[in-house]
Amino acid sequence: MILVTGAAGFIGFHVASKLLKEGYQVIGLDNLNSYYDVKLKKSRLEILSKSQNFTFLELHIHKYERLKEECSNFKIEKIVHLAAQAGVRYSIENPFAYAESNLVGFTSILELARLHEVKNLVYASTSSVYGANTNLPFSEKNIADHPIQFYAATKRANELMAHSYSSLFNLPTIGLRFFTVYGPWGRPDMALFKFTKKILADEPIDVFNHGNHIRDFTYVDDIVNGIILAMNSTETPTSKWDPSNPKPHNSIAPYRIYNIGNSQPVTLMEYINQIETSLGKKASINFLPLQKGDVVSTESDISLIHEDLGYMPTTSIEQGIHNFLEWYQDYYRGKK
């Protein structure tokens, strides 16, 4: 039985869907908070709930005693932890939401994993942990200790917290640093969703850093495939690990960190041009300066996850954007 936290969220929904199709018993957990449209989250849950192999628990992960009680009747073998307070900008406005969900909540998940003696805990980290680092492509072998927003700091803290549990309790953990995930059922606060909505409504789109961002946009199906590869792997202590020259991505404990991206970065303007091409409609653009907390460029080195797990993304930007736009127009047809 697999526990998927954040199951009503963007990536969690896709992971739970794939696991159900593969015949797994899935417990989906989510608090259905109002950070973005709850109706969208409930629409995802409605699809998942069509499977007899899906059980939904609505609760807050930072409330450990209730979490432990609700999960006590299940034999949880693996956990895919995707529940978190997401968003870079909102972490500037409301840091306590991130501390509660991403720090206290992750402690609850670690304790639950220890209690159930799970075979593997896979959890979401982020490319944002690389922060002030401008050495591209970003590699897990490089130090990631200079986050430039609080959201990234909480995710880096998760990686260190996971290492402590891997070391103390021999708990296998894998942290996955996601690179700008997009696709159908995506979040309304993300660029593709916002751009599409405004272009279709003939409203100008805000483009920060005067359009000079570069992003490693990664299609959600590729991310899901990587998550499941990680979930089904067996982490062991790294052989010949040298404590006098420790590497940040592995350990003498059963612990790993992997980048999971597309490794084919494009400029933001190329991305927008592809949206325009797919919609057959030009965008009116409002160019703005760099936002506080934004990094200019991201690019993933995915050689480690490819070598260890066989991960290889296959979805082009053109196909991924087309799939999103097809979903968006179908989902919102008649809803406005």
Token pair 């006590």 in the structure block, residue? 72
Token pair 């989906």 in the structure block, residue? 28
Three-state DSSP string of 34-79: CCCCHHHHHHHHHHHCCCCCEEEEECCCCCHHHHHHHHCCCCCCEE
Our answer to whether residue 151 is catalytic in this structure is yes
Give Cβ neighbours of residue 39 (< 8 Å, ≥ 6 apart).
none
Q: How far is CA 74 from CA 30, 49, 64, 65, 263, in A?
A: 17, 18, 16, 15, 38
Report CA torsion sign: 135, 307, 311, 144. Answer: negative
Question: For 136, phi and psi rounded to 5 degrees?
Answer: -95, 150
Nearest to 73 by CA among 119, 113, 27, 117: 27
Nearest to 221 by CA among 138, 324, 303, 290: 324
SS3 of 259, please?
strand
Q: Which is catalytic among the residues 24, 35, 151, 165?
A: 151
Q: What residues are annotated to the active site?
A: 151
